[in-house]
Amino acid sequence: MRDFFENASSIDDPVEAARRNARASLRRRFYEKATVAAVDGGFAVRLDDKPVRTPAGKLLAAPTPALAQALADEWEAQREVIDPAKMPVTRLANAVIDGVAKNQKPVADEVRKYLASDLVCYRAGAPKGLVEWQARHWDPIVQWASEALGARFVLAEGVVHVAQPETALAAARAAIPDDPWRLGALNVLTTLTGSALIALALMHGRVSPEEAWAAAHVDEDWNTEQWGRDELAMERRAFRHAEFEAAATVLDLLRAA
């Protein structure tokens, strides 16, 4: 299964990834049952009592039984063929196990970069409707960062970069987790939403996944209201949403544990 998932994760464009997976000859399901078994340091996915390996050859295992079960459920949901495009939690787990676990600093640094020019800090001056949409979705997140993290960010109008107070950046950076699973999920959420603050608010339970997704797409949704749907853009968005939901699920299961 290693080459199978390597090929699925090596395409930058998510829509092209889905299309290429559809064109490829997907591997037929070869197992009867996907289950979870306790192993040293976690809980592993097993297919007919055989271990599953990541693209790098490591054991596909999670730190909690609930998260491991979510992985097993994806494998169990595959029918005649195994389609990696429909297994976002497994793809995230592979990335965490093979990549984030041994490269935590650069992953955390990527999240930190978003804080310096976070989406929710750059507001439109007009039209009035968009200004109100942004305030409704973004103000609670900025207020939460100030009250819960002690990170008081400066808001700006337009797209010209505004330097944030170092005290605010330091306070927000301190909230970035240092365990690979939460960090990996947070990194995915940050890149998908364009906002480390939205991702942190979701991780800490300040906003729901639905609220976080809406906050990340205020401008896009406003334009859709004015000009109609772009079908290709919506196709891309649907693929991104599956990745978003997978990362949100990982955080939710870890928080519940």
Where exactly are the structural domains of the chain? 2-98, 103-256
Summarize the confidence of residues 178-206 as an average pLDDT.
Answer: 97
Q: Return the bridge partners of 47, or none.
A: 34, 50
Determine the Cα–Cα distance for residues 138 and 198; give it in Å rounded to an integer: 8
Cα–Cα nearest to 114, from 161, 48, 74: 161
Write down the pLDDT at residue 8. Answer: 46
Task: Output 244 or 226, whichever has higher pLDDT.
Answer: 244
Determine the Cα–Cα distance for residues 73 and 193; give it in Å rounded to an integer: 26
Q: Which fold has domain 2-98?
A: ATP12-like (3.30.2180)
Summarize the confidence of residues 53-82 as an average pLDDT.
Answer: 97
Q: Which fold has domain 103-256?
A: ATP12-like fold (1.10.3580)
Q: Do 103-256 and 2-98 have the same topology in CATH?
A: no
Name the strand (E) or helix (H) holding 156: strand 156-157
Summarize the confidence of residues 128-144 as an average pLDDT.
Answer: 97
What is the pLDDT confidence band of residue 236, given thresholds at 50, 70 and 90? confident
Backbone angles phi, psi at 50, to 5 degrees: -115, 140
The answer, yes or no, to whether residue 72 has pLDDT greater than 60, is: yes
Write down the pLDDT at residue 11. Answer: 37
Q: Give the tens place of pLDDT for each residue, 24-65.
A: 579 999 999 999 999 998 999 999 999 999 999 999 999 999
Summarize the confidence of residues 84-113 as an average pLDDT.
Answer: 96
